[in-house]
Structure 1
Amino acid sequence: MIEAAITAIGGYVPERVLSNDDLATMVETNDTWIVERTGIRERRIAGPDEYTSDLCAAAVDNMLSRYPVTVQDADLILVATHTPDYPFPSVSCQIQAKFGIEAAGAVDLNATCAGFVYALQMANGLIRAGLHRKVLVIGADLMSRITDYTDRSTCILFGDGAGAVLVEGREAEPAFLAAHSGSDGTGGRHVYRTGFRGDMFGEPLRDSKLLVQNGPAVYKWAVQTVPQGMEALLQKAGLGMEAIDWFVPHSANLRMIESICEKSRFPFEKTLYSMVRYGNTSAASIPLALSDAAANGRLKPGQHVLMYGFGGGLTHAGVVIRWGI
């Protein structure tokens, strides 16, 4: 049986730092207020000529500099993003061209902040089904381009970044131990960005083309939904909570993660997150947390990792894997 495993990882954030003190010059806020409510101290902001495809390419370059792998022989590229450079061509096609990957399919998928985990689930399923053997998976978002910097409740949260992994087939014990996903479309009005339509379920939306979020409603949904999803994952994997070495949730808000850990009775000190220095980077937040933990030696081969993404849609998805690199 061919099983899928993550064989390399990389990450990238832009050079420009937007600190809490910087934001205090733009809206009525301060460092203490932001840290107390979100745990975020700074975020990275792309330059004016830097786009999602550039972030993706830099994350892949970082991965290639850290591991003895190649991407030119990948046969599928999956990019999880909701901020593509263009409606089409896709970011995945731009990455195919950038790295000269000759024989790869290319697909972008949009599950917002849950996108990276959905892409991992797809890569695992396609490899185990024998349809692909080497999949380049990237999670990336350019949140600064869709953030309303006059709204202090949202502009304090978001930053830009990308994370990339290789998922390869091999004859070995399974590395992907369980998967779980779900959605609640009725909650879509709580976090959205308008496009062709300016209404939802017959109700008008703020048609600014920028991100709009009802923070308390999303918070309540996530704190209820994620612990239930974690429990479902553990049952599918046949593991107890104590067997999980690292919990890697979407890095939306540190206080939200603390509440999720408390409700699920998972030790907060065994949680990996990226928002303190990078802000909420949407589809990039989980791979950035993994990339940093792998680089600094906290994440080790053989450890059990539970990832859980959640966000607009409303969407959520989780996986349990045995880390192998």
Structure 2
Amino acid sequence: MKAGETTGGPDGPGPDDSGTGAGTGPHRGTGAAAGGRPVDPRMFDGTVAAVALLAGPEGRLLYTNSAFTRLFGARRLGLPAREAFPDSDGHRFLAVLESVRDTGRARQVVGERRPDPGEPGQARHFVYSCSAVTTDQGPGILVLAMDTTAETLTLQRYEALATALHAVLRRRPDGTWRLTWSSAGHPPPLVVPAVGDAGYLPGAADPPLCVASDFLRTTHAHVLGPGDTLLLYTDGLIETPSAPIDEGQRRLASEAVLCRRRSLPDLLRVLQGLSDHRDDTAMLAFRVDEAP
């Protein structure tokens, strides 16, 4: 969209829009409402958010506030976006700007990592929110940069944590097996008895590994009788983005009961089908021999 052109709403041209007329008529998008006054960039001077304002077909830089300068350094006004943001996230950031300019629809893009001037070697993370606005030079784009470093690093630390389950099985003189286990943030063991409903063994999981080296972990115990099946598994078997984890657990328990008479290899093949394969899945099954 060129400066000075008009564009209609989502259902076609507006009442005064022939598709070729000049002026600064309505645009689709949050910041470019019909009849809206041009954005006054001075309103962003004292904000803590980093703000930049661009206008024209090349997205020339009209304004940056002091917060933007502190985070990204000084940028010479008047430069087209391609030159004003040479260190942006490749062509993706520029493509988003063009999309907002052409459609009037707000977009977001995750920013690249960049060195923090105050902490050499420390990465910074940003999300850029780009919205169509009206400026005193015609249609423009308001770029709001949100620093998401703290949230991103927290998520990375969480993803780096390892969960584990340590289990020991010991045969007892009466033919039963004593299971002892300790969970570090891992899903609970599932027991499918020879008769009756399957159940997840009680006992709260301890924190994942590497959270605290001096943490005193809890040991739980359970006795497995003849014909009982023990299933250990990773969360990839029960977690899906579209359903809560307890729904995945119910589905697993129900299917395991239906397959309790199958051989262990067949049981694992059937249960593998419950995974949506978005995450790695591993299973380990153990069955106590039936009583003679």
TM over 0.5: no
Structure having greater relative contact order (Cα 8 Å, sep ≥ 6): 1
Larger Rg computed on CA atoms: 2
TM-score, scaled relative to structure 1: 0.23
More helix by share: 1
